[in-house]
């Protein structure tokens, strides 16, 4: 879990101004409660449970697979 400020700081340290990156930030939205019965407290518990990076690792692997597929079909 990271705050917006922490994410910005990490981006500043990791990437140059001209670097292209794939990113998606997901924060709590009221629609989660309406659609999935996930209130802010449940959302925060979920996010805290993912601090080991497993979701981020899975997303990175998926993005790399998409990039590989793109490269294979756009040679």
Token digits of residue 68: 């590989």
How far apart (Å, rounded) are the C-alpha atoms in residues 50 and 2? 11
* Residue 1 in domain: no
* Residue 60 in domain: yes
Q: Has residue 75 got a pLDDT over 80?
A: no
* Residue 13 in domain: no
How far apart (Å, rounded) are the C-alpha atoms in residues 33 and 15? 35
* Residue 12 in domain: no
* Residue 30 in domain: yes
Quick: pLDDT tens for 31-72.
999 999 999 999 999 888 887 778 888 888 999 999 999 888
How many domains are there within the chain? 1
Please tell me the predicted confidence (pLDDT) of residue 14: 95
Q: Has residue 19 got a pLDDT over 80?
A: yes
Domain enclosing residue 63, as ranges = 22-73
Give the list of residues 6+ apart from residue 22 with CB closer than 8 angstroms, or none. Answer: 63
* Residue owning tokens 């080991």: 52
* Residue 14 in domain: no
* Residue 17 in domain: no
């Amino acid at each position: 879990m990271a705050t917006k400020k922490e994410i910005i700081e990490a981006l500043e340290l990791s990437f140059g101004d001209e670097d292209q990156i794939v990113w998606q930030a997901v924060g709590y939205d009221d629609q989660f409660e309406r659609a999935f019965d996930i209130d802010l407290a449940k959302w925060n518990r979920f996010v805290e449970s993912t601090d080991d990076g497993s979701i981020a690792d899975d997303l990175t692997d998926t993005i790399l697979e998409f990039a590989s597929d793109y490269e294979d079909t756009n040679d």
